[in-house]
């Protein structure tokens, strides 16, 4: 299996506070890779540094694309998106005044091929049929679960090589979470690599091929989803629940 993303010795600071203290992670093509940990561990900072929203102090973010490799650390967010890394941010950040369809169109801004945009719409509506039935509806009128589907759908509209998800289960009912996680497996099976940040550790480890546990800006543990799911001390110590 080949790498699509490699984070090497990444350091990020907010003023005097060091948020990431030299973390290194690998994301393999066609996998779901999870970043887990408590609030304040550095999970969102990691994603935002990969996406170019947060600048790093030092370290590398290597993106592998068609046999080429490029250090994209501190590249502008639009340039990162143009490389094929699309992020669905924490809190969804939907344009509530726009329709569902217009929100999805906004996600396809970097896709020049009109036919590809049409294919992407078909894919999103197949994954999330409710969005097609609500396409003319104002996004602000959707339920929490529908908003999350829209946020993921909008990221998929950009034809991502790597789909980056920040807390997709946040604030959702258990049944809705189950549906969304099932859809993430489907997205992976269709060939899109996923990097996911989650507090809902047990659900995430059930679908993750590999996972890293972040603790106060450092990787404290890593392994396959199955290995970490079966690690009782991990579940109790870091991930809240037995």
Tell me: pLDDT of 90 over 80: no
Establish if 208 belongs to a structural domain: yes
What's residue 25's pLDDT? 97
What's residue 237's pLDDT? 66
What's residue 109's pLDDT? 87
Question: Each residue of 13-32: pLDDT tens digit?
Answer: 999 999 999 999 999 999 99
What's residue 242's pLDDT? 43
Asked if residues 173 and 145 have their Cβ atoms less than 8 Å apart, the reply is yes
Asked if residues 89 and 163 have their Cβ atoms less than 8 Å apart, the reply is no
Establish if 10 belongs to a structural domain: yes
Establish if 95 belongs to a structural domain: no
What's residue 73's pLDDT? 95
Q: Give the range of the structural domain holding residue 51, as residue numbers without chain letter.
A: 1-83+194-242
Establish if 178 belongs to a structural domain: no
Establish if 220 belongs to a structural domain: yes
Asked if residues 10 and 20 have their Cβ atoms less than 8 Å apart, the reply is yes
Question: What does residue 205 show for φ and ψ, rounded to 5 degrees?
Answer: -65, -25
Establish if 225 belongs to a structural domain: yes
Establish if 16 belongs to a structural domain: yes
CATH of the domain at 202: 3.40.50.300
Cα Rg of the chain (Å, integer): 17
Q: Which of 42-56, 84-98, 141-155 has the lowest mean pLDDT?
A: 84-98
Please, what is the average pLDDT of the chain?
92
The pTM for the full model equals 0.93
State what percent of residues in the chain have pLDDT above 90: 78
Number of domains in the chain: 1
Asked if residues 240 and 205 have their Cβ atoms less than 8 Å apart, the reply is no
Question: What does residue 46 show for φ and ψ, rounded to 5 degrees?
Answer: -60, -50
- Please give the Cα distance from 63 to 65 (Å, whole number): 6
Establish if 66 belongs to a structural domain: yes
């Amino acid at each position: 299996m080949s790498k699509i993303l490699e984070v090497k010795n990444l350091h990020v600071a907010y003023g005097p506070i060091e948020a990431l203290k030299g973390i290194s992670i690998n994301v393999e093509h066609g996998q779901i890779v999870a970043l887990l940990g408590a609030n304040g561990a550095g999970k969102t900072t990691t994603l935002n540094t990969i996406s170019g929203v947060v600048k790093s102090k030092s370290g590398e973010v290597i993106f592998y694309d068609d046999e080429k490799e490029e250090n994209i650390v501190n590249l502008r967010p639009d340039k990162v998106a143009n490389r094929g890394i699309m992020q669905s941010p924490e809190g969804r950040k939907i344009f509530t005044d726009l329709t569902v369809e217009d929100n999805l169109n906004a996600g396809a801004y970097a896709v020049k091929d009109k036919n590809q945009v049409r294919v992407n719409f078909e894919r999103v509506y197949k994954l999330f049929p409710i969005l097609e039935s609500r396409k003319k509806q104002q996004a602000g009128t959707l339920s929490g679960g529908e908003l999350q589907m829209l946020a993921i759908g909008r990221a998929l509209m950009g034809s991502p090589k790597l789909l980056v998800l920040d807390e997709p289960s946040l604030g959702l009912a258990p049944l809705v979470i189950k549906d969304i996680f099932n859809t993430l497996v489907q997205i992976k099976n269709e060939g899109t690599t996923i990097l996911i940040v989650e507090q809902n550790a047990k659900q995430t480890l059930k679908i993750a091929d590999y996972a890293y546990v972040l603790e106060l800006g450092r990787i404290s543990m890593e392994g396959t989803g199955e290995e970490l799911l079966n690690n009782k001390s991990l579940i109790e110590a870091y991930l809240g629940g037995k």
